[in-house]
Structure 1
Amino acid sequence: MTEPTPFGFDDEALAARPTVYQPRLFAGQVAIVSGAGSGIGKAIAFLYARLGARLVICGRDPAKLESCAEWLRRLGSPDVLVQVTNIREPEQVEQLIDVVWRHFGRVDVLVNNAGGQFPQRALDYSVKGWKAVIDTNLNGTWYMMQALARRWRDTGTQGNIVNIVATFQRGMPGVAHTCAARAAVTYLSKTVAVEWAQYGIRVNCIAPGAIASTGFRQYSPEAVKAFAGANPMKHVGDVQDVAEAVVYLSAPSGKFITGELLTVDGGGVLWGEAWTIAKPDYFKVST
């Protein structure tokens, strides 16, 4: 079996990853995946395509989206819609939902994967840097959730939301901004999972730990090397681990699950520590 590089699988290897799911599981269904141009988002889109879903992929980089779309068609998705969208802008989100509804007439699954952060000590955050992370990881996620939930409510159709967050439960030194945003999304999801149950809308979150992907490129080589030792299984996960968890929650297998946080991190929230910045001498054990 092909093992991922420190930055994940190439497209060919990703397309050939084994899956436990039957090939036509999502035949006839429509899934929106944000941030699908690379990393975890691409893996999620690849798996949905292999399972027969029609796909909407959105993000801010048209070249990456088009490259992903070519693979999705090769993998068997009967229809792929590419939309360049900045989820920080609610008007663009509303336009996205309008375009999708006109094209497909339905949406079954929304995967809010778009997001990002940069490693830096919290004392050094600028106002601009803080707002950029919060606007994408919290506000953008919410704009997508609300816009689609309103459409489902108004059309009397059921839907399913899976939000990709992070393992914020024990803190993540160096990315306090994303911990704040991801924790907010998690508890927002728990709340609206109750409010929206009457409309047949399920809302869940997945918290990936250290996952070998292009997202590792923003961290120092020392941090990336340390990630493998930050959980009791002593290795990083791969993007397919997260994609399969998303399918589990959005398929009939998850029909009685809502308001939950599924952590995919090799037990990292139970043991170990993950520094995304240089570990201060204060925390180093003297020998």
Structure 2
Amino acid sequence: MFDLHGMTALVTGASGGIGSAIARSLAAQGARLALSGSNAAKLRAFRDDLDETDHHRRDGDPDHVAITCDLSNPDSVEKLVPAAIDSLGKIDILVNNAGITRDNLAMRMKDEEWDAVMKVNLEAAFRLMRASMKPMMKARFGRIITITSVVGSTGNPGQANYAAAKAGLVGMSKSLAQEVASRGITVNCVAPGFIRTAMTDVLPDAQKDALNARIPMGRMGEGEDIGAAVAYLASKEAGYVTGQTLHVNGGMAMLG
């Protein structure tokens, strides 16, 4: 697809359904990865599996590395980019993928539910972007890619906090894109629609059918669909694309 040999990437939420698909896509194109997540055992197991299946491994180069991080803890977040650079030598690609939900109707939403989603989904992404900027500016190359959501554009009842955070990521990415474009750094978003994951697999068939009925393609997307979009935006070929949101939703919301 796109050649990422010689490039390094930090992926948050890397052991989850979409995160692992993104990591596999970047590794398949030759990138070396710093995989981040909160579950150390799950993260290491995924790292080991990725190493075993990675046909692009080079003798003498470090393997993919696993770095645990609690994105709700600012001190932990601030240490993540330096740890990735220490392990891989540099950072070319940052993928802000990790996110949480604390769904509730707005009139019932607790302050803690609002704060938790903002801290992990929006604030942690900003801290990682800020930490990545200096080394990327020095190298005069960088790719910052943030996974948002279709609901950041359409809204969704019961997800005022989540939709606000996802919409905030888009505005933040556009602002940063304008600040660093002259330094060879692009900043973009990928907005998934309904993607099939372990969580959606356990839904009742009637609920799956109702979801699929809202999608012109008649099915949910796969993690690989998001991974392919990220691989493109991470590539040298996407060097003239910045401040954009790539919607990957099967036509569910046809947004300009």
Match of 1:43 in 2: 21
Q: How does 1:1-287 map to 2 (within 5 A)?
A: 21=1, 25-76=3-54, 78=57, 79-153=63-137, 155-167=138-150, 168-216=152-200, 223-270=207-254
Query: Which runs of 5 or more residues in structure 2 are unaligned?
Result: 58-62
CA spacing shift, 1:179–1:260, aligned 2, 3 Å: same
The farther-off stretch of 42-51 and 202-211 is 42-51
Q: TM-score, length-normalised on structure 2? A: 0.90
Write the deviation string for residues 219-271 of structure 1: whole angstroms up to 9, x where unpaired: 77754442211122221111111100111111123111000000000111149
Supply the AA of the counterpart residue of 1:67: A
Matched AA of 1:163 = T
In structure 1, the gaps of 5 or more residues are: 1-20, 272-287
Structure 2: distance between partners of 1:218 and 1:191: 38
Q: Which amino acid aligns with 1:196?
A: V
Q: State the TM-score, normalized to the length of structure 1.
A: 0.81
1:158 maps to a residue whose letter is F
User: The residue matched to 1:55 in structure 2 has which SS?
Assistant: strand
Higher helix share: 2
Shift of 1:28: 1.4
1:61-113: CA deviations, max 9, x gaps? 11211121012101225321111001233322222222222222211111100
Give how far 1:120 is off.
Answer: 2.5
1:87–1:143 Cα contact (<8 Å) kept? no
Residue in 2 that maps onto 1:278: none
Larger Rg: 1
Quote the Cα distance in structure 1 between the aligned partners of 2:21 and 2:119. Answer: 24
Cα distance 1:224–1:176, how it changes in 2: closer, same or farther (>3 A)?
farther
State the distance in 1 between where 2:84 and 2:16 align: 21
Quote the Cα distance in structure 2 between the aligned partners of 1:170 and 1:125: 20
User: Is the CA contact 2:92–2:136 (under 8 Å) kept in the aligned structure 1?
Assistant: no
8 Å Cα contact 1:46-1:71 kept in structure 2: no
**Change in CA separation of 1:35 and 1:218 when aligned onto 2, cut-off 3 Å:** farther
Per-residue deviation, 1:217 = 6.8
Instruction: Tell me the distance in 2 between the aligned counterparts of 1:163 and 1:218.
Output: 27
- Identity percentage over the alignment? 33
Question: How far, CA to CA, are the matches of 2:130 and 2:249 in structure 1?
Answer: 28
TM-superposed deviation, 1:169: 1.6
Alpha-carbon spacing, 1:128–1:223, altered in 2? closer, same or farther (3 Å): farther
Cα distance change, pair 215–32 in 1 and its aligned pair in 2 (3 A): farther
Residue deviations 1:168-218 (CA, integer Å, cap 9, x gap): 222112212111000000011011100111222110001000000134379
Change in CA separation of 1:213 and 1:105 when aligned onto 2, cut-off 3 Å: same
> What residue is the counterpart of 2:60 in the other structure?
none
Q: How many residues align?
A: 248
Is the deviation greater in 205-214 or in 220-229?
A: 220-229
- RMSD, aligned CA: 2.0
